[in-house]
A and B are shown apart, each in its own frame.
Chain A
Amino acid sequence: MSWLSGFNGPQTLGSGLGFWSSFAAAVVLLAAAPWLVESYLVNNLAYFLLWTFMALGLSVIWGHAGILSFGQTAFFGLAGYSYGVISINLGDANGLTWVAFSGALLLTALFAALVAYFMFYGGVGNVFVGIVTLSITLVMETFMAQTAGPEWAIGSARLNGFNGMSNMPPLTMPGIVEGGLVLEGNALYWFVLALAVSVYLGLRRLVNSRFGNVLVAIRENPDRAEMLGYDVRLYQLAAFTLGGALAGVSGVLYTTWGSYITPSSMGLTAAALPIIWTAAGGRKDITTTFVATVFLLWLSQTLAVKGAQYALVLMGVILLLVVLLAPDGLVLLASRALARTAAELRRRRT
């Protein structure tokens, strides 16, 4: 088990054989889903998983570095629109959709770094980061919503205002089959799953590394972190850029999944949801964030059948419950209660 030691540490829950066995079983089960459940559910699973990147990014920014960003959807939307513009202009031949994928992520990461530079090097901190980031996403939503006219086009890509962009080509792997393997249906699901597992494991390593230690130090006491010789602004910029890029991954995958992106994906409701997923799970841990995001998306979708407003009201109630009763998150609260019960049972047995 020593090869797993890099994935364990003080910043993540779960480190024993039980945890990693459960993790492996969950991955195998998810990978086998296309043979076990109907394609409609596989498509839904891909949808749930593609949002986890944005939530995990927020967990790094907010849970680990202590910066509450209310505008991750700005990066989600920018990446989605960028993918649309680039891929519509380049087409899907010869793996050019991957140029669109990479270009959209690069652009988003640069934008996140620029926003972070002005905020952290400009002395914006605490609650004001939330206000600035929320303003950015709302400005972007408003701007994109008024791009309905034919003059709002980049090359052959029309922005289409409030109705949003559509008809962008799906990601295509060149060379595997004749004409390229189009990532749709099961192929897209496996791709999203593989990416989610990789990002999850990568983040486990990152938050338990020296870099992760510094982020937590900044969250706990930025003055002391600086007095240990760390350039707090640089670490905040790095964390924010990473979180922005991860929100971008969600944005691109969402755009390829549904072949559309609309300005409302950067609106107030959309901006609030990642905060609820992350807070409900337990923002300081990426596993709880991951689990809560998938669960709450499933719950929202299930309730949305009865009416979209019920799901949103429930999300609001969950946020209130978290703030009032479980500031460390409901999943973390439940896992601690389970651990206490298990310890009590062991004690009684001996």
Chain B
Amino acid sequence: MATLLETRRLTKSFGGLFASRGVNLAVEAGEIRCLIGPNGAGKSTLFKLISGTYRPDAGQVYFDGVDITLFRPYRRINQGLSIKFQVPGIFVDLSVEHNLRIALQRLVASAQIDDETEKLLYFLDLAGARQMLAGTLSHGQQQWLEIGMAIALCPKLLLLDEPTAGMTPEETFKTGELLKRLNAGGMTIVVIEHDMAFVRQIARCITVLHFGEVFFEGTLDDVVNSKDVVRIYLGKE
């Protein structure tokens, strides 16, 4: 498998605080990778460095063999990257359907956009809420809507920052199955998640971040059996 995403010594500090300290991360095409770590470990910062929201102080980001470190976010998206933020980044004053259309129109021709919107609405189980303002949806539905907008871009790499926050256990499970289906279709996915049951459901490889550095990398069993990870992440000796 070829490496789709690679960060080399990626560093970002805010004042004197290092949110990302020389992070080296390689994600193979076709993987589902989970990033875990305690609060403040630098997971969301790493996503923002990859997506271009933040410029790194040092280091590089390579995507599909291209150095995208200096690319603006929209250029990274057009390279085949898509992201769902931790706080739902939807258009709250527009209808659910309108949100999806704006995302779909990037790739879908006008003649097909009605059909594709319809498919996505049913796929996301939001067909009944199509005319509702996105801001009036439940938190879980907003997460689904943003995931829908992210996958509407048919990305090579999907970055999801806590996609199941605010979801019921059933919705969380359904989200996991959705991600596995997308991955089976060839989409590479990197997920930041705290829910270990969800992590177990979807991921084969896990990267643990701590104080802005890669602390550990391995399978879920490796992670669970690592005393160091248990100590820093679960707070147990």
A residues sitting closer than 8 Å to B (CB atoms) are 10, 210, 213-214, 216-217, 220-221, 223-232
Contacts and interface: CB of A to CB of B under 8 A. Distances in A.
A224 B82 CA distance: 11
B74 A226 contact: yes
Contacts of B85: 227
Contacts of A225: 102
Interface of B: 51, 53, 72-74, 77-78, 82-83, 85, 89-95, 98, 101-103, 105-106, 110, 149, 153
A35 B103 CA distance: 50
With a 10 A CB-CB cut-off, give which of B51, B93, B102 has the most chain A CB atoms.
B102
B106 A10 contact: no
B83 A221 contact: no
B8 to A, nearest CB: 23
The 8 closest A-B pairs by CB, nearest first: A229-B77, A220-B91, A224-B89, A226-B73, A217-B102, A226-B74, A213-B102, A229-B78
A231 B94 contact: no
A64 to B, nearest CB: 12
A220 B94 contact: yes
Contact of B92 (A10, A214, A220, A229): A220
5 contacts: A213-B98, A213-B101, A214-B102, A220-B91, A229-B153
A227 B79 CA distance: 12
B92 A227 contact: no
Given A213-B101, A223-B53, A228 B91 contact: no
A213 B89 contact: no
Contacts of A223: 53, 89
B78 A228 contact: no
Given A213-B105, A228-B149, A229-B153, A10 B94 contact: yes
A327 to B, nearest CB: 12
Nearest to A210: B105
Contact of B74 (A213, A220, A230): A230
A227 B83 contact: yes
Contacts of B92: 220-221
With a 10 A CB-CB cut-off, give which of A220, A223, A227 has the most chain B CB atoms.
A227
